[in-house]
Chains A and B, each alone.
Chain A
Amino acid sequence: MRDSGPSCGRQPLSCIIPPFLLERMAESGDAVARRRAVVDLAQATAVYAVRDLVRSMPTFLATPSPGCCRDRLVYDARGRDDLPGRLARREGDRPGKDPAVNEAYDYSGATYDFFHTLFGRNSLDDAGMSLISSVHAGEADGEGYQPMNNAFWNGSQMAYGDGDGVVFERFTRSLDVVAHELTHGVQSFTSNLVYRGESGALNEHFADVFGVLVRQWHQAAAATKGERPPRSWLVGAELVVPAQTRRAVRDMQHPGTAYVDDPLLGTDPQPAHMKDRYRGSADRGGVHINSGIANRAFVLAAEALDDEPWETAGRIWYDAMLEIPSRAGFEDAARITVRIARDEHGAAVAKAVRAAWKAVGVTVPAARKPR
């Protein structure tokens, strides 16, 4: 189920030699290189067509559920990377002994319930798609496999590693991590923001927003009166092995402070304002870095409103996630959220959302009054 892992030129769907380089090779005096480049150029044209089709029609990647509604399947990858692995728990099965299986099951259920209860959404594709998770995923290191120190969405399912035990525990420990991965799934069936640069940072931003909102909503529902934990905007707090230099993977309220001078992690690189945005090429142009700017805007908007974050602010951001164009940037996100706020929730809410974006350096011009 995993994306194919080929060498350049052998498996064109995931492999792009820059066309200018292919063209240069096609003009080369070396007959072998020329022949290869001509073939690759022809494949590249076909590949772009397939990629556009995949982007516009993600539904053909979905696994339909046998029923109408919530359907969870949790697999055990047994330390390997050939997903999904062996089926460990299906919808309706009782809990087993493996905490990773139970967490993936429970937290994907909580995420389904959040989107269904608040927004009437029936799974990632809004058509009852099965929620497939693999736990105990491994990664090849050239000699064998080691526990994966990561979690990801591969276009059709979630995968969670057990962590290295030094910096990260198993990735299913945090509900906001599981909900983050599932929100990537929701996005792949809706806006499908291109995973690079500002649009990629927005993809990460929406995944963080709904990751944290699912946790906050779930904690509020589970708490009895007076026992509700204080509102937290940390991402992955349960995932990190505690140390004085780290407290989470990200802090949506105070980007750049989740870990500081950590001997193994370094310092959290997230900016909190456009003036500090990352402009380099790492991380696909900073998709996990610049998301901090939009994350802070969301927190400022949510905290300025006098209801729960998943109510007005969550609703605005959910509607924005469905309609935002796939190549949108921060200014587009700001403009769209302000418009939805004004049209659906009134001028006072729109003012709070506009002020939140302005505080992180993204200005939305005020709407002109009709003459």
Chain B
Amino acid sequence: MTAAILRVSYTESGGFAGLVRSCRLEAAALAAEERALLEQLVAAAGLTASCECLSEQSRDSRTYEIVIEWETIQIHTVFDEPSLPAEVRPLVGFLRERARPGMPT
């Protein structure tokens, strides 16, 4: 089922190089096929609560910040490479392909 409102903001930062890349996707502005894929990946990621999951010991791991606005719900998650759940990786892969250098606007 298609959500009335789905926005996803993504910021990837850190890593040894400290590069920042980001994107903000509005499902309604995407082509039907891409929109369906985004909805599917968001659902499969299973992010049901805001959380910050960062490794205490790791240094120079990449950090992934994902904000999902779905209808009236907003979920804000922060992971790093060691803590990124397997089920979220396909969504991150999708977002990484669309991210561009720089902070989110």
Residues of A within 8 A of B (CB): 2-9, 13-18, 21, 25, 51, 54-55, 58, 61, 139-143, 149-156, 168, 171, 177, 180-181, 184, 188, 195, 203-204, 207, 236, 249-250, 262, 264-267, 269-270, 280-284, 287-289
User: What's the minimum C-beta distance from B56 to chain A, rounded to whole angstroms?
Assistant: 5
Given contacts A141-B89, A288-B14, contact A16 B103 (CB under 8 A): no
Not counting A151-B60, A266-B21, A288-B18, a sample of 8 additional A-B residue pairs whose C-beta atoms are within 8 angstroms of each other reads: A14-B82, A16-B53, A17-B51, A140-B86, A154-B61, A155-B55, A181-B59, A283-B20
**Are A150 and B101 interface neighbours, CB within 8 A?**
no
Chain B residues, Cβ within 8 Å of A249 = 16-18
Chain B residues, Cβ within 8 Å of A250 = 18
Within 8 A of A (CB), among B33-92: 46, 49-63, 65, 77, 81-87, 89-92
**Are B56 and A14 interface neighbours, CB within 8 A?**
yes
Contact size range, B: 35 or more
Given contacts A168-B17, A269-B18, A282-B13, contact A61 B86 (CB under 8 A): no
B19 CB-CB contact with A under 8 Å: yes
Classify the secondary structure of B's interface with A.
mixed
User: What's the minimum C-beta distance from B15 to chain A, rounded to whole angstroms?
Assistant: 5
**Are B62 and A18 interface neighbours, CB within 8 A?**
no
User: What's the minimum C-beta distance from B28 to chain A, rounded to whole angstroms?
Assistant: 25
User: What's the minimum C-beta distance from A82 to chain B, rounded to whole angstroms?
Assistant: 12
A265 to B62, CA, bound (A): 15
User: What's the minimum C-beta distance from A255 to chain B, rounded to whole angstroms?
Assistant: 11
Q: Which residue of A lies closest to B55 (CB)?
A: A3
A58 to B59, CA, bound (A): 14
Q: Which residue of B lies closest to A15 (CB)?
A: B53
User: What's the minimum C-beta distance from B74 to chain A, rounded to whole angstroms?
Assistant: 12
Question: When the two chains form the complex, which single residue of A54, A171, A282 contacts B57, counting CB atoms closer than 8 Å?
Answer: A54
User: What's the minimum C-beta distance from B42 to chain A, rounded to whole angstroms?
Assistant: 13
- CB<8 Å pairs between A and B, sample of 22: A3-B82, A4-B83, A5-B86, A6-B85, A15-B83, A54-B57, A140-B86, A142-B90, A142-B92, A150-B81, A151-B16, A152-B15, A154-B82, A156-B57, A168-B17, A171-B16, A181-B59, A184-B60, A203-B59, A282-B103, A288-B16, A289-B18
User: What's the minimum C-beta distance from B43 to chain A, rounded to whole angstroms?
Assistant: 14
Given contacts A141-B89, A264-B101, contact A269 B57 (CB under 8 A): no
Q: Which residue of B lies closest to A58 (CB)?
A: B57
Chain B residues, Cβ within 8 Å of A156 = 57
Question: When the two chains form the complex, which single residue of A142, A181, A281, A288 contacts B93, counting CB atoms closer than 8 Å?
Answer: A142
A250 to B17, CA, bound (A): 8
**Are B93 and A8 interface neighbours, CB within 8 A?**
no
Q: Which residue of A lies closest to B11 (CB)?
A: A282
A137 to B12, CA, bound (A): 20
Chain B residues, Cβ within 8 Å of A151 = 16, 60
**Are A14 and B59 interface neighbours, CB within 8 A?**
no
Chain B residues, Cβ within 8 Å of A143 = 90, 93
Most chain B Cβ neighbours within 10 Å, of A149, A280, A282: A282
**Are A283 and B60 interface neighbours, CB within 8 A?**
no
Closest 4 CB pairs of A and B: A288-B18, A266-B101, A155-B57, A3-B82
Encode B2-29 as 1/0 by CB contact (under 8 A) with A. 0000000001011111111100000000
A348 to B30, CA, bound (A): 63
Most chain A Cβ neighbours within 10 Å, of B17, B63, B84, B91: B17
A284 to B46, CA, bound (A): 24
User: What's the minimum C-beta distance from B82 to chain A, rounded to whole angstroms?
Assistant: 3
Chain A residues, Cβ within 8 Å of B16 = 150-152, 171, 177, 180-181, 236, 249, 288
A223 to B21, CA, bound (A): 40
